[in-house]
Amino acid sequence: MISPAGAYDTIVFMNERTHRMTEGNPAKLIFFFAVPLMLGNVFQQVYIITDTLIVSRTLGVKALAALGSTDWFSYMMISAVQAAAQGFSILIAQRFGAGDQKGVRRSYARSIVLSIAMTAVLTIASLLMIRPVMIFQNTPLEVRPMAEEYLRILFAGMPAMMLLNYGSSVLRALGDSRSPLFAMVISALINVGLDYFLVVILGAGVAGAAAATVIAQLLAGFWCLFAMKGIDFIRLEKADFKPSKGLDSELLKLSWPMMIQNLILSAGGIVVQSRVNTFELSSIAGYTAASKLYGALELAALAYGFAMVTYTGQNYGAKEYKRVFAGIRDSLIIGVLSALAIGLAMLACGRDVIGFFLKEEGTMAAEALETGTEFLFLMAETLPVLYGLHIVRSVLQGLGDTLTPMLSGGAECIARMSMAVIVSRFIGWPAMIWAEVAAWIAADFVLFGSLYKRLSVMKAIMDSGEQYGQ
């Protein structure tokens, strides 16, 4: 009789896009799985930076400040969508690694149902919260109408956002990091083209920038659907969508803590933004310009994080615990080296990049340049702290522990808000730019401590020859 795992292996390797990470050199697997994700993040940053450049150089510093005022609130909703999608994909990765073909299909089908329900709730909630949040975070009256207009269009397009993120997460869980890359390339190119057409040629303002993002995400999401249709062993039947005892709760158990984690992080960010918005417009604009480059700083960290969720999830599902240990070690080494290289590059050219966002001349633009450069350089110098955070958080998630990352998000939130609300009253603006780094450090304390305990237990079970379960 052929074992389920053996039968599944045969089916899996008939599809060239999917890949099991339970065999081969961990460092090579993690790095080369992450490379397409990095390239995808590069394209994502290209369109984010291009979007910001087009808006700021076409519409001015006030429009840039308006976009900056939306950053944390838009991140709150976007990250909730991403967390739900990634949480669902953890179970898919674990069952894929275990060779459970039926489990993969059922998890895939039920997570589709849950994703649709979550998207409906998040879309309605986000649209209703726009005005209260803009008021709470002290968005300047002169830029508030632009900020609200941008958010209304962005949040109305949340189904497109979920389609792209869910499709990418499922593909990554199955070991396919190339299709998400193509999706991101499609999204970036369409976004840049539509940005120029809608904002510069048609003069649609910040509404055009938001519409470009939604349309680009929708088309990229359709690409992910097309890619998933080509994977034979996840072709769904009607029976796969039927509720299964405990399955929905297991999926929600993985996704909800990740969603709460990101909501907590975002809430802290909104508080920080409310304090930033009490400073001069030049400070807001400089902070915004540096924040737009935050993605460039962490683009490799995100890729390593996604890679480690898949790598850890598959190997944990296959009970390859020695490979989990090796992957953690290798990923941390790769992550720190990458952080140092990216940080040095940003220190070398960051000031010039910030300058591209500021077309206007005069005191306001000059002050914005200084503020943005100071914030960017601080993040670049402390980048290894952020990379450790992303990798360890993802390892824990791949092991099925989404509670500890949620608690680390709470630590981040407390540190971020303490700097912005309390420390800033004593030292002023420097506390605002140190808030981000303080949040990274607080999260690392929680994450590394928990990982050490988790691995100690796993090692003891390995040494005793017993099998470790969740």
pLDDT band at residue 5 under the 50/70/90 scheme: very low
In this prediction, residue 7 carries a pLDDT of 35
* Tens of pLDDT, residues 164-218: 999 998 998 888 888 888 888 888 889 889 988 998 888 888 889 889 989 999 9
Q: Is the pLDDT of residue 413 over 50?
A: yes
Q: In the predicted model, what is the mean pLDDT of residues 332-345?
A: 95
Q: Is the pLDDT of residue 302 over 60?
A: yes
Q: Is the pLDDT of residue 372 over 90?
A: no
Q: Number of H helices and number of E strands within the chain?
A: 17, 0
Of 90-94, 225-229, 344-348, 361-365, minimum mean pLDDT range: 361-365
What are the distances in angstroms from CA 48 to CA 23, 66, 99, 162, 195? Answer: 36, 15, 39, 18, 10
Gap between the Cα atoms of 235 and 122, Å rounded: 28
pLDDT band at residue 12 under the 50/70/90 scheme: very low
Residue 266, CB half-sphere, CA atoms under 13 Å: how many?
21
pLDDT band at residue 11 under the 50/70/90 scheme: very low
Contacts of 106 (CB under 8 A, 6+ apart): 240, 244, 247
Q: Is the pLDDT of residue 158 over 90?
A: yes
In this prediction, residue 465 carries a pLDDT of 63
In this prediction, residue 6 carries a pLDDT of 34
In this prediction, residue 156 carries a pLDDT of 94
Instruction: Tell me which residue of 221, 191, 200 sits closest to 44, measured CA to CA.
Output: 191
Gap between the Cα atoms of 419 and 368, Å rounded: 21
CB count within 10 Å of CB 359 equals 15
Given a contact cutoff of 8 angstroms between Cβ atoms, the answer to whether 270 and 136 are in contact is yes
In this prediction, residue 360 carries a pLDDT of 56
Q: In the predicted model, what is the mean pLDDT of residues 388-399?
A: 94
pLDDT band at residue 467 under the 50/70/90 scheme: very low
In this prediction, residue 242 carries a pLDDT of 86
What are the distances in angstroms from CA 179 to CA 6, 31, 176, 183, 329? Answer: 26, 17, 6, 6, 27
Q: Is the pLDDT of residue 469 over 50?
A: no
Phi, psi of 292 (to 5 degrees): -65, -25
The average confidence (pLDDT) of the chain is 84
* Tens of pLDDT, residues 107-139: 889 999 999 999 999 999 999 999 998 888 778
Start-end of H helices in 293-362: 294-317, 321-356
In this prediction, residue 54 carries a pLDDT of 80
Instruction: Tell me which residue of 110, 403, 79, 83 sits closest to 255, measured CA to CA.
Output: 83
Of 58 and 217, more confident: 217
Q: Is the pLDDT of residue 373 over 80?
A: yes
Q: Please report, rounded to a whole number, the percentage of residues in the chain having pLDDT higher than 70.
A: 93
